[in-house]
Amino acid sequence: MKRYLILFLITFQGLMAQVQFEARVSKNSLGINERLRIDFIMNVDGDNFEQPSFDGFKMVAGPSQQISQSWINGRSSFQKIYSYILQPERKGALTIKQAAIEFNGQVYKTNPIKVTVTNAVAQERDPNDRPQGSGNELLELVAEISKTNPYLNEPITVVYKLYFNNIGVNGFKELAKPKYNDFWNQNIDVKQLSVQQGSYQGQQAYYVILKKTILYPQKSGRLTIDPLSLDIEIEMASNRRDMFGQMITTQGNKIVTAGAKAINVRPLPESTQPEGFTGAVGKLNFTVTPSKTTLKNGEGLDLIVSAQGTGNMKLFTLPKPVVPNALEMYDPVHDESVTTSLTGMSGRITDKYTIVPQYRGKYAIKPMQFSYFDLSSGTYKTITSKEIMIDVLDGPTPAEANTGAASKNIVAKADQFKNIKSKTALIPVEKKDFYDSSLYLGLLFAPFIIIPIIILARKKKEAMDSDVTGNRIRMNNKLAKKYLSQAKKHLNNKEPFYIALEKAMHNFLKAKLHIETSEMSKDNISELLLSRNANAETVQNFIALTENCEFARYAPASSASIQQDYDKAVMIISELEKQIV
């Protein structure tokens, strides 16, 4: 017996000396649209397991626990595992910090693990990793490119569309935004997300335009647009129904990715490129216009150099005029009146130069040349302005200006004292005493007025707070009006319209009948409404419209039928307001 005890102690001490606690991940590099499994494995039954904070990750599932124990050839083995499924929230190098356990009074920790999160990658989804539906569901994110082989600085558009069918979309979150390296880009506002009918790969489907972007490539060669990835909250109808015959829906999340897109940008022809070309591409016109050409002594003129039309208006520079030395030209004031749409930039850009002549005489502003690459013909176009003659009628000649320089210096000395003030503004030294002011009296008596008001308001609030039933009725009334207003805003968007309409009708019942959601069976609603003197036909219409809200969310509906359902709901609620006692 003593020998067995010694062997047991030796074996126990050996186990104590070999405590293992480690963390393992399913992969060390993954796309931002992929998921990561991490297991914390120990060979002893540790206590007080502390999980790390998982900074940079969202916990999708976990912790799940597995315990296994076996005896092989007289030796026992034990294993305990805590498992998590994580979704990265940002790209870059992320670190999973240490987890900890306690065993026999000692603390054991895992080593930190570094994980690299890259751009979204194309992947085949596991059919088990989504809510179960009928099998005919469609949910795809597509990036439609207007042109994949443009010229340098030729506009192209990217339109992101979400195609779906037999599935409800309750919301989405961007996991990865597209990057447009080496592109000038601007988003085109999508004012309202509206559902439209179309087809996807030959299959009838609905789609929503989520994002529109106009791009101007700034570099030739092969350029890549990083993908857009979304985490979408979905809702699908199942093949099951509840005890009231209503369809049971399942909810979950699905990650969709538009995929990276490659653009092959062609360089502009170099052999025929004109001198002074500054990168203008499109269909443009060029003008040089003086505000006037005849001047008196001391007057100036504005020389307006402008280009107008369609093209990369914000991405090139206008030529600079060359004027004689006798004309002093100041730096230009640049102005842009440009609009950007899916067809590209259009409008007008202007450089306005102020020119002031120094001497009397006639001076010529040389013709200016402006070149651009015409996309329609694939050739360069050059526009030449006319020569502009400036006639200065009076003023000194260059010789007279030199002899008059000394007298100008004498005149300038007469102005050296002009900044000295000749008047003094005096303010009184003694001010009125604060204790005799109306502000002091107001502050003195203010507490005697404010404190009673606060006491009355507090008593009123306490009375309202103690009225639990009244508060619930008021809250339900408020929610009914809120959801009815939301339904009106979504008349052009079927899914959120019917969700808001159903919530409005349910909260109306809660306010009027003082019932909870669990009591809202068809028979109970009918019995309660009829007992409150509601008209039988109105009650039947109310129940029919409530049931229709559930099925209409998954069936195609026209804007006319949606409007009819809204008008019917308003009418029914108004009638019940009058009938219920």
Report the distance separating Cα 355 and Cα 332, nearest Å. 10
Helices within 219-344 (DSSP H only): none
DSSP string, 304-332: EEEEEEEE-TTSS-PPPP---TTEEEPPP
Question: Rounded CA gap, 544 and 489, in Å?
Answer: 23
Contact 340, 313 (CB under 8 A): no
Q: How many CB atoms lie within 10 A of CB 577?
A: 10
What was the pLDDT predicted at 466? Answer: 62
In the prediction, which pLDDT does 386 show?
Answer: 93
Q: Rounded to whole angstroms, how far apart are CA atoms 332 and 304? A: 9
- How far is the C-alpha of 525 from the C-alpha of 148, rounded, in Å? 60
**Scanning the structure block, which residue is given the tokens 């809120």?**
482
Provide the token pair at 118.
């890259």
Query: Kind and range of the H or E element at 49?
Result: strand 47-50
- Distance (Å, whole) CA 223 – CA 151: 12
Q: What is the DSSP string of 443-481?
A: HHHHHHHHHHHHHHHHHHHHHHHH-HHHHHHHHHHHHHH
Cβ contact 505:568 at 8 Å:
no
User: Cα separation of 321 and 364, whole Å?
Assistant: 11
| Beta partners for residue 349, in sequence order | 307, 336
547, 553, 546: which is closest to 572 by C-alpha? 546
pLDDT of residue 143: 92
Instruction: Report phi then psi at 153, rounded to 5.
Output: 70, 15
CA-to-CA distance for 146 and 136, rounded, in angstroms? Answer: 30
- Residue 120 CA, chain-centre distance (Å), reads 18
For residues 33 and 257, give the distance between their C-alpha atoms in angstroms, rounded to a whole number.
Answer: 7
Amino acid at 491: L
Can you say whether residue 309 is alpha, beta or left, with left for phi > 0 and alpha for psi between -120 and 50 degrees?
left
Rounded to an integer, what distance in angstroms lies between the CA atom of residue 15 and that of residue 8?
Answer: 11
Amino acid at the residue 191: K
pLDDT in tens, 420-433: 566 667 676 666 66
pLDDT in tens, 361-374: 899 999 999 999 99
Q: What angle do CA 79, 81, 85 make, to 5 degrees?
A: 160
* C-alpha separations of 571 from 245, 476, 505, 561 in Å: 26, 19, 12, 15
Strand order in the sheet with 29-31: 29-31, 113-118, 92-96
Is 1 exposed, middle or buried, given 0-12, 13-18 or 19+ CB atoms closer than 10 A?
Answer: exposed
Main-chain phi, psi angles of 83, to 5 degrees: -120, 145
Mean pLDDT per 10-residue interval, the chain, length 581 residues: 46 58 88 86 85 85 74 74 86 89 87 88 51 66 92 94 86 82 90 86 88 93 89 75 63 83 93 93 95 87 95 94 90 93 93 91 93 94 94 78 51 51 67 70 82 84 63 60 74 78 79 71 79 82 78 65 82 81 64
**Helices 536-552 & 522-531, crossing angle to 10 degrees?**
150
Residue owning tokens 């408020």? 478
Q: Report d(CA 341, CA 210) in Å as an integer.
A: 16
pLDDT digits (tens, 9 = 90+) for 180-201: 889 999 998 888 888 888 888 8
Q: How far separated are the first and last CA of the chain, in Å rounded?
A: 87
105: left (phi over 0), alpha (psi -120 to 50) or beta: left
| Residue 454: C-alpha distances to residues 442, 458, 465 (Å) | 18, 6, 16
CA-nearest of 265, 312, 286, 271 to 381 is: 286
- Where are the strands (E) in 396-528, listed by range? none
SS3 state at 113: strand
Distance, in Å, from the CA atom of 312 to the CA atom of 152, rounded to the nearest integer, reads 10
Model pLDDT, residue 429: 66
pTM, two decimals, is 0.51
Rounded-to-integer distance, Cα 479 and Cα 341, Å: 40
